[in-house]
Structure 1
Amino acid sequence: MSQDSHHGKWAISSSDDDDDDKAIPLSGTTTSQSRQPTASGQGSHRPASPRNPGPEAATVEVKPEPANAPVSSLAVGLEAGRPAATNQLIPSKYETSPSLAGKRKKEELDGSGWALSDSDDDDGDVKGKSLGKRAPPSPKSKKPKVEETERPPSPHGRLYYIDEPEDFFESSIPCLSDTYRFYLNKVTGLDRKYNSGALHIRDILSPLFGTLKESVQFNYCFDIAWMVKQYPSEFRDCPVLIVHGDKREAKARLLQQAKPFPHIHFCQAKLDIAFGTHHTKMMLLWYEEGFRVIITTSNLIKADWYQKTQGMWMSPVFPRLPEGSGKSEGESPTFFKRDLLEYLASYRAPELEEWIQRIGEHDLSEARVYLVGSTPGRYVGSDMERWGHLRLRKLLYDHAEPVPGEERWPVIGQFSSIGSMGLDKTKWLTGEFQRTMTTLGKSSLRPDPPMHLVYPSVDDVRTSLEGYPAGGSLPYSIQTAQKQLWLHAFFHRWKATATGRSHAMPHIKTYMRASPDFTQLAWFLVTSANLSKAAWGALEKNGTQVMVRSYELGVLYVPSAFNMKTFPVLKSPFPVSDSAGFPVPFDLPPTCYSPKDQPWIWNIPHNQAPDTHGNVWVPS
């Protein structure tokens, strides 16, 4: 069957889903990570070429992502006559991959497997299935020399096809802006200036930032062998605690990945509500010099740190309190310490007790952001304001300030995954979520300003650095899209010329309130939460109860915490300067979809035009 809309005509699979209450999270962006085929050689700038998989590749877990209903499998077409790389889950143009069974999730095989982005879909039931067949191993183990003729010319320059230069990672403490402590990730293939002041995971774990003793990695998607390599050699055997949400077979595979690494230990997050995921992405780093928190949008797989747009808040090093200090000491004006300890306590995990004690012994008074978390549960009374979007609403009510003409200040949401929100906009988006997003102080005014939702179009994905495989981390399914065509009227293109990331598809998730001329912000949030009820929570029982399915975490920037009335928007974040302007990661004002634009939908064909690597996207 087919479906027409003002954003184009789609071929729709016969599978159907009638449950509008189940949210579909998209890509590691969402609560589960969608797999991303790397037709272009996902772990490097080299095109796909025959090679033997690395020894650790076979241990990386492939975990499917929750979805509403079985969907078609995906295949990425290569140029005619080009061999598929070993260990790449991308069959040739004339082959089809095994069924995804409506799910997708994690893994990155030595940089060349499908990188699954997390999805918040509330309706997942298939787990642990492989997402594709591997190409037969090549008899040659030596990587052949890459010739110019192997691929069409790249619009992103010749450097796209080579490995990162030696100085891609830090050689000295990078130039950072300490005003907001909000950073983007380094992206391979960009002009050097757009990586100035950006961070790679190796930068974060560098000895230049502290002498590491122990760490905790909270995340949704893991490639353990790759993660271990990101630690510098002098810290590579320091204890690491992995906090995850995997169960049964998926958990067994994760544990199997860690067998070669005795310094890695595990903590399983309790997911007591169906279809919830552990989507939080946070690092706790304990140094000889103190303690640091990083809250990010990246999974612990190579693809998420390679050519996607990610964001993070990195705290300063919090010093240890003097012996004998009370538990309430070392608090920040934003109560960051209290809220972080409350979030960790929500896991009810013995493995985190030592860290709760350790954090209590440090001075977190320099934190200037508010913590916005989600934890699974049904909450009533005052507990309703502890988590999810009602937590955000409470913070904006208490700490944001009304602005003149606020009814004209648009709300902007930007994400990489979309859940099911009902048959019309009032069911959740405008009837519940928008009320939170439009809260500004204790004003009784409840305006209905414009809402701009930034989500990549098909053409954004096609012309990206990764090409169509980038769409594996944007898992908006046709089954969900066809039930909420009303949503697409809100969509705006992903454009990020000021940060150089227009062609690095977003896995970052941000929400903000901007002035009508887009030069000021009333507040800004970077988070793991995509646009879904699973991530943000939904009211039940006539608004007397809120139900949250997933773990999420983000930080809220409010001008009053920085002694400002509003945040001025920084128009040119790169190269980095210590400006008072806020470095919004995409262009303002957002660009509305044209009548020819279609939102990226990951389980229908996209073969009208080849991508930047000459490939097409063909579900079977």
Structure 2
Amino acid sequence: MSTTTTSASGTPTVAATSPSSKTPSDNTEQKRLLENEEPLASLRKKAKRSVSIRYLESPVCLTSVQRVPASINAGCVTLRSLIGDPDLELMVQINFMIDIPFVMSHVHEHIRDGLKTIVYHGLRLSMDELMKLNAGIASVYPRVTMHSVPVAGMGTHHTKAMILFYRDGSMQLVIHTANMIERDWRNKTQGVFRTGRLSKKSVAAISSTCAFERDLLEYLDRYFDHQQITSRIRQYDFSKIKATLIASAPGRYRGAERNKWGHLKLRAVLRQQVEVPREFISGSKIICQMSSIGSLGKDSQDWLRGEFEASLNSYRNSKNFGQADLCVVYPTAENVRTSFDGWEMGGSIPFKSTAYNKQAHYLNPLLHSWQGMKSGRERAMPHIKTYTRVTSREDGDHLAWFLLTSANLSKPAWGEMRDGGVLDVKSYELGVLIFPGLFEDCGASGEAMHVSMMNSTILDPYPEPYTLKLDDLDPDANEENYGDNTTSDSTLRQTIGVVPIQLPYDLPLKKYNFGTDHVWLVDKYFPGKDDFGASLSM
């Protein structure tokens, strides 16, 4: 069976190897890690197909990890690959923590000293410290402008994004999970969303907008002196982007405004646009994976198993079916000790004992340890944050939706309902939601086709939904609805799309064994030495 890889906009790009002929990785270390994996051939009962598959490019990927072999980093991105283009004209960095010399070291050397750069950061510094920081940066990089984003109380400016403008007139938006500091781009598991190069709108379409553009501009309107950025962004065409923006910004929101932010924005999009096939309802799981957990309340219904789970469990046809099981993926102390960066890594996973002790009685049954053999990230601790709905079937793991975001599992990040129906959001966060319906116009010549999102792994980069037959796709399907309508033995041939999503963790999940597993807590002592011979202090 021939296959084609197609970009998110639906344009054919690089030809991909057919899953039926693909070869497993020849990396010895990874083979050893996966030696207990059941051979792919035995997992696939290859029946005569009634459909052919077109693979569509995912807009999300992982970052490279320094301490894994190059073959494991295939398809991953580096910071240099994101900001090292000599054609870069203007760079906007929006982040929590930023080290300007580190960032500029990844900019092409021919433009490094003269690149106009605007930075919005969340560093918590005194006025004197900020003035000293800004003066030091200006003396070395005079074209870098620093803006500190003020946030009150428990809030944080936690968004991680880049807006890149190029000399050829194009621009690119990057939303990711890494602070702009060296250790976040070294040996951690991080995620990146890229729009690809966007072109300017035609003169006739200059006043037209799409939902993604409107959401982005509404978010950026919160920043000081944003006009020089937003006025340029309005010139670009975002209509082909296969993602929905899910943002948080500090405020108390009422009425329709509530549905623009935090978990209520996620709920609204899932309810209005995401339909879960009936055959994927039973046994499905909602998996929340993060690098920190906040104070969620003494009772599970206070927030996590109340309003937040209600948002995660939303979907368009949800009135007729049941809910998915809620799961939380979070590292154990042993995960941290044996990680590439050892105990030092634990400082980037700041779950505290006071918060954990108050909610352990309802959080513990949900906890699953970090396992990343299938992504090559077993020892690369997660700084990535992902939320997804998964149904595991014989042919693989099907994703109803996938969210990559800066938001950890906390009320300040996602918002909390208050008296009077007010949504109270404390922090700045930014993420992107993708789901199969966004890709259904990627068929030949823009025709509609059925699309599945499936988990891909190192050994199975092109998962194949072999159980999908003609009747599973659409009982009323006819040859006018699909591009490939040739017949064989009176069977209509259809093309379906598959978007491979590389989850950072392994499926099936592994529940905590509380006889041996201990939740990593940043302020608690755990015994043992890491790979560097270091121990935690008592």
**TM-score category by the smaller chain?**
0.7 to 0.9
Give per-residue Cα distances to partners, 1:580-620, cap 9 Å, x unaligned. Answer: 3221121111110112101111111122x21122211114x
Q: Who is 1:478 aligned against?
A: 353
Q: Deviations over 1:215-251 (max 9, x none)?
A: 1000000111111111111221210000123453453
1:264 counterpart = 2:138: no
**1:402 paired to 2:322:** no
Identify the residue that residue 377 of structure 1 maps to in structure 2: 251
Query: Deviation at 1:274?
Result: 1.5
CA distance in structure 1 between the aligned counterparts of 2:382 and 2:260, rounded to whole angstroms: 28
1:342 is the counterpart of 2:229:
no
Q: Matches of 1:395 and 1:218 in 2, distance apart?
A: 25
CA contact (8 A) 2:243 2:433 kept: yes
Q: SS of 2:130's equivalent?
A: helix
Which letter does structure 2 place at the counterpart of 1:240?
Answer: T
| Aligned counterparts, 1:15-414, within 5 A | 179-207=57-85, 211-236=87-112, 237-246=114-123, 248-249=126-127, 251-259=130-138, 260-271=140-151, 273-289=152-168, 290-323=170-203, 325-328=205-208, 331=210, 335-347=211-223, 349-350=224-225, 352-404=226-278, 406=281, 408-414=283-289
* Offset at residue 572 of structure 1 (A): 2.9
* Aligned residue in 1 for 2:510: 591
> 1:169: which partner in 2?
none
Residue 116 of structure 1 is matched in structure 2 by none
Query: Structure 1 501/253 Cα, relative in aligned 2: closer, same or farther at 3 Å?
Result: farther
Query: 2:292 touches 2:409 (CA, 8 Å); kept in 1?
Result: yes
Q: Which amino acid aligns with 2:63?
A: N
Question: Letter of the aligned partner of 1:316 in structure 2?
Answer: G
Structure 1 residue matching 2:499: 3-state secondary structure: coil
Question: What is the SS of the residue equivalent to 1:214?
Answer: strand
- Amino acid aligned to 1:513: R
Q: Calculate the TM-score normalised by the size of structure 1.
A: 0.67
CA drift at 1:395 = 0.6
Residues 602 and 389 from structure 1, CA distance in 2 versus in 1: closer, same or farther, beyond 3 angstroms?
same
Alignment correspondent of 1:568:
454
2:426 aligned partner, one-letter code:
R
- The 1:614/1:445 distance shift into structure 2, 3 A limit, reads farther
Equivalent residues of 2:454, 2:498 under 8 A apart: no
Q: Match of 1:267, SS?
A: strand
Could you say what secondary structure the match of 1:581 adopts?
strand
Give secondary structure in 2 for the equivalent of 1:530: coil
Partner of 1:132: none
2:317 matched to 1:431? Answer: no
SS at 1:523 equivalent: strand
In the alignment, is the contact (CA less than 8 A) between 1:539 and 1:545 conserved in 2? Answer: yes
Q: Which amino acid aligns with 1:570?
A: S
| Alpha-carbon distance, 1:389 to partner | 0.4
Post-superposition CA distance 1:349-377 (Å, at most 9, x none): 22x10111111111122211000000000
Query: Mean Cα displacement is larger for which, 576-585 or 184-193?
Result: 576-585
Report the counterpart of residue 73 of structure 1 in structure 2: none
The match for 1:612 among 526, 531, 536 is 531
Query: Could you tell me how far 1:575 is from its partner in structure 2?
Result: 7.0
Q: Secondary structure at the match of 2:423?
A: strand
Shift of 1:545: 0.5
Query: Shift in Å at residue 522 of structure 1?
Result: 0.6
Native 8 Å contact 2:90 2:115 kept in 1: yes
1:288 and 1:213, CA in 2 relative to 1: closer, same or farther beyond 3 A? same
* Deviation string, structure 1 residues 497-520 (Cα, Å, up to 9, x no partner): 111111000000000001144610
Distance in 2, Cα, partners of 1:468 & 1:296: 24
What is the rounded CA distance, in whole Å, between the counterparts of 2:254 and 2:133 in structure 1? 35
1:133 matched residue in structure 2: none
What is the RMSD computed on CA atoms of the aligned residues? Answer: 2.2
Are the aligned partners of 2:84 and 2:106 in contact in 1 as well (CA < 8 Å)? Answer: no
Do 2:462 and 2:500's aligned partners in 1 also have CA atoms closer than 8 Å? no
Shift of 1:490: 1.1
Alpha-carbon shift at residue 442 of structure 1 (Å): 4.4
Asked whether the equivalents of residues 56 and 499 of structure 2 are also in contact (C-alpha less than 8 Å), the reply is no
Q: Which amino acid aligns with 1:228?
A: M
Instruction: Summarize the Cα distance change of 1:206–1:575 in structure 2 as closer, same or farther, 3 Å threshold.
Output: farther
Q: Which residue is 1:81 aligned to?
A: none
Note the residue ranges of structure 2 that are not aligned, 5 or more in a row. Answer: 1-28, 31-54, 441-449, 464-496
SS at structure 2 position matched to 1:422: coil
In the TM superposition, residue 402 of structure 1 has moved relative to its aligned partner by: 3.1
- Using the alignment, how far apart are the partners of 1:251 and 1:574 within structure 2? 48
One-letter amino acid of the counterpart of residue 512, structure 2: Y
Please give the secondary structure, in 2, of the residue aligned with 1:519. strand
Question: Which residue does 1:459 correspond to in 2?
Answer: 334
Task: Judging by fraction of residues, say which structure has more strand.
Answer: 2
The CA distance in 2 between the partners of 1:575 and 1:430, in whole Å, is: 34
Deviation for aligned residue 1:565: 5.0
CA contact (8 A) 1:197 1:576 kept: no
Residues 238, 439 of structure 1: alpha-carbon distance in 2 compared, 3 angstrom cutoff: same
**8 Å CA contact retained: 1:224, 1:257:** no
Shift of 1:463: 0.8
Query: Comparing both structures, which one devotes a greater share of its residues to helix?
Result: 2
Letter paired with 1:569: N
Report the counterpart of residue 35 of structure 2 in structure 1: none
1:549 to 407, 426, 429: 426
- AA in 1 matched with 2:267: R
Distance 1:193 1:472 in 2: 29
- Aligned residue for 2:264, secondary structure, equals helix
Q: CA deviation at 1:557?
A: 0.5
The residue that corresponds to 2:381 in the other structure is 505
The question of 1:538 aligning with 2:419 is answered no
The residue identity in structure 2 corresponding to 1:376 is: P
1:601 and 2:521 are equivalent in the alignment: yes
Task: State the secondary structure of the residue aligned to 1:194.
Answer: coil
Q: Deviations over 1:140-159 (max 9, x none)?
A: xxxxxxxxxxxxxxxx99xx
Q: Give 1:443 shift.
A: 2.8
Deviation at 1:322, TM superposition (A): 3.0
